[in-house]
Amino acid sequence: MFMGVARRCAIISLVLFAGIVMAVGVARAGVFNPQTFRLKNGMEVVLIPNHRMPVVRQMVWYKAGAIDEPKGKTGVAHLLEHLMFKGTKAYPGGAFSVTVARNGGQENAFTAADYTAYFQTVAKDRLPLVMKMEADRMTHLTLTPEDVRTERKVVFEERHMRVDNNPAAVLREKTQQRLFAGSPYAHPVIGYPKDLSKLTRADVLTFYHRHYAPNNAVLVIEGDVTMAELKPLAEKYYGVIPPAKVPPRPSLALTHKVKGGEITLADPRVRQPNLSMTYIAPSYTFGGRDAVIPLEVLNEILSGGPTSRLYRDLVVKRGIAVDAGSYYDGQSLGPGRFVLYASPKPGVPLSRLEAALKEEVHDLLARGISPEELERARRSLLANAVYARDSLSAGAMALGGALVQGRSVYDVESWPDRIRGVSRRQVMRGAREVLGRRNVVVSRLMGAPHKSKKTASPPPPQSGGATPAPTPKKGS
């Protein structure tokens, strides 16, 4: 499963306690209150205790995604994710998935630009089993050329269904290419068809051996487990795997100046037109991390539900849109994105909605945000952090994603304090830095009339009512 459009969520990070007991770092009271340690081979291990039920989730995150693919090999990271379920000598022919299912568990995986992750959710007493199996396929994957051919067809079909047959996805891909020209983020996670068709068993195994190693991975366990139970298991199954020499990650600097511009896609399959304005934005590791929290608050003000600014103004008050909002991704290893979007009400020209959305940007930059908007956004974001504690997956997703994208446990656990401390001035500084740029990419999705195929009229009948026989084609 590939992750195309990044998730809309506030990612939360961690504060470490100053003392160390038995080489295990303990975080002070925060969001998920994780405990951490590192194996001798360099693998990071995070435990998020959750004793509400006797269930655990194991996640293994690799610092390897689409940005790490060699030139001309787009899609190999995602193809490898599929092929990791083909098996090893110990668990051949799909036995991995069968074993998880027979033990009452669930599993899946996903690939993004910056990482690939695998997870299982099982009863507590099945944790040693899934740890053993996941550690086994970290280094013992076996593939045949037929495995690669078969799964490549599956990926082609996935691309056809999710991208090629979806005008909105095609437009997003074009927008990404324009926005990140010259960067590894310009190409899609699922890959280009011309590259996918050429990927071989050797290409997949080369990527696997270069990037799948304990010192390039993070193990996150969330659920009904204590550190006294987990640490021996991690050492037994993962600690015995030798580290590998991992290549450095690619430069993520934008080598081409972002020119912005306009992209319009008209397609008969489009039933609901849409407009988006996409800006390059800072992330935690690119362009100034101090802007990330203010931009997360700005995103909540613009798009946090039916009372948010864009929905209130364009949908409720002016009645020219059926949906409107924003999206901010400040978590990537490279440049982030800030997106404004809206879908017009039937009968409303896209040009009118575009003008209104630009008016909203102008008004925001000229007048700023109110104290009430700031406080409402803070409350909403902090409530999300509270709800996340009750989930068996939110902590593993937040902490695993943070650690493979250049952030720390501190970043996750201290997130609520930083949300509470953000000021209107900081939010507006971020808004002007991002939305004040002229190199925005404006993307328009609209319908188009179906092309009717004209049927040639049959020739008039000859005498006797007979029609002439068709002229034979060459080669027939």
Query: Do 276 and 326 form a contact (C-beta atoms < 8 A)?
Result: no
Question: Which stretches of 73-209 are assigned E, i.e. beta strand?
Answer: 106-111, 116-123
| Burial class of residue 459 in the structure, from the number of CB atoms within 10 Å of its CB (0-12 exposed, 13-18 middle, 19+ buried) | exposed
Annotated catalytic residue, options 44, 69, 81, 360: 81
147: how many CB neighbours lie within 10 A of its CB? 18
Distance (Å) of CA 242 to CA 137, 173, 200, 229, 365: 14, 39, 27, 23, 54
**Number of helical H runs and strand E runs in the chain:** 16, 13
To the query of whether residue 81 is one of the catalytic residues in this protein, the response is yes
Paired strand residues for 2: 111
Our measurement of the distance from residue 462's CA atom to the centroid of its chain's CA atoms, rounded to an integer in Å, reads 66
| Radius of gyration of the chain, Cα coordinates, nearest whole angstrom | 26
3-state secondary structure of 322: strand
Region of 347 on the Ramachandran plot (φ > 0 left; ψ -120 to 50 alpha; else beta): left
Quick check: 142 and 121 in contact, CB under 8 A? no
Pair 376, 361: CB distance under 8 Å: no
Q: Which helix (H) or strand (E) holds 49?
A: strand 44-49
Cα separation, 66 vs 176, in Å, equals 13
d(CA 398, CA 319): 37
Unique residue bearing structure tokens 């009968």: 347
> For residues 196, 406, 327 and 13, what is the CA-based torsion angle, rounded to 10 degrees?
140
| Residues designated as active site | 81
